[in-house]
Amino acid sequence: MRRSLQLAMLVTLTIFLVQSVSGYDPSQHQKSAEGKSKHGGGGKGHHGYGRPKGPPADIPTHIKERTSPDGRKINLNNSLVGVKGMAIMAESPELKNIVSMALKGNKLGDEGVRILTQSSTFKHLEYLSLWDNGVSARGAQMLARGANFSKLKELNLTKNQLGSDGAVLLADSLNVVNLTSLDLSGNQIGNRGAIAIATSPYLSNLKSLDLFDNKIGLDGLKALLQSKTLVNLEHLDIVRNNYDIESVVALEKTTTLPNLKTFVAY
């Protein structure tokens, strides 16, 4: 396993160096949960619509158009429906069986999360993306305590404002016990947040963990690689954090993660 992990790191480093020369922008780091359409439609390519400048003129119709025929999946990525759109969805009986919600770039904020957590419409959710919605630690607390999230299998909170407090709240919640994929990229969770994830008794089913761009140092990385609870973790992405490659290589040799297959550090 260690040999394969080292090979993966060397390949990733080579790609990173090549991309750096060609103008690679780390802020464009792609997230599998969106790019591979795990949320019933993925990004804009699946639906063929570009990034709008404002909310749809007819939000209810737009929501209907972006909902799958069986009412189990909805893709509103980059739709800018805002809190108003979330309120409409929360009162829509057509969405009572919704399982998958892709809500990237909708300016929901913590108020939108509040509506999401308090509506009985969303009690069957298994896949949720709130990528780039201005969600803070307060919103994370709602997700951690909300009755609608005990069945979640995949949670994407890329590019929000959770901070270490938000990460700690999520890691200490029974709502994450069924998660197999967690993406907290771009949330500045730091060592404290990484350590909370590494020691959480509720994340033992996690297979994929993306912590790109989070100001995590060697203490946080060490906790992750030597975690006694992330026993099913297969993929770990820690690109663009606070460490040097020599230290990462040394720490990688100490990993106790039995199922880790892909370790992306650079």
CB 6 within 8 A of CB 260: no
Task: Give the whole-number percent of the chain exceeding pLDDT 90.
Answer: 79
Exposed (0-12), middle (13-18) or buried (19+): which is 217, by Cβ within 10 Å?
Answer: middle
Task: Provide the whole-model pTM.
Answer: 0.83
Residue 233 token pair: 């973790």
What is the predicted pLDDT for the residue at 44? Answer: 34
In the chain, the domains with their CATH numbers are 2-264 (3.80.10.10)
User: Tell me, what DSSP letter sits at residue 125?
Assistant: -
How does DSSP assign 68-82, residue by residue?
Answer: -TTSSEEE-TT---H
Cα(170)–Cα(87) distance, integer angstroms: 24
* pLDDT band at residue 213 under the 50/70/90 scheme: very high
Kindly report, residue by residue over 54-81, the tens digit of the pLDDT. Answer: 889 999 999 999 999 999 999 999 999 9
- Between 193 and 40, the more confident residue is 193
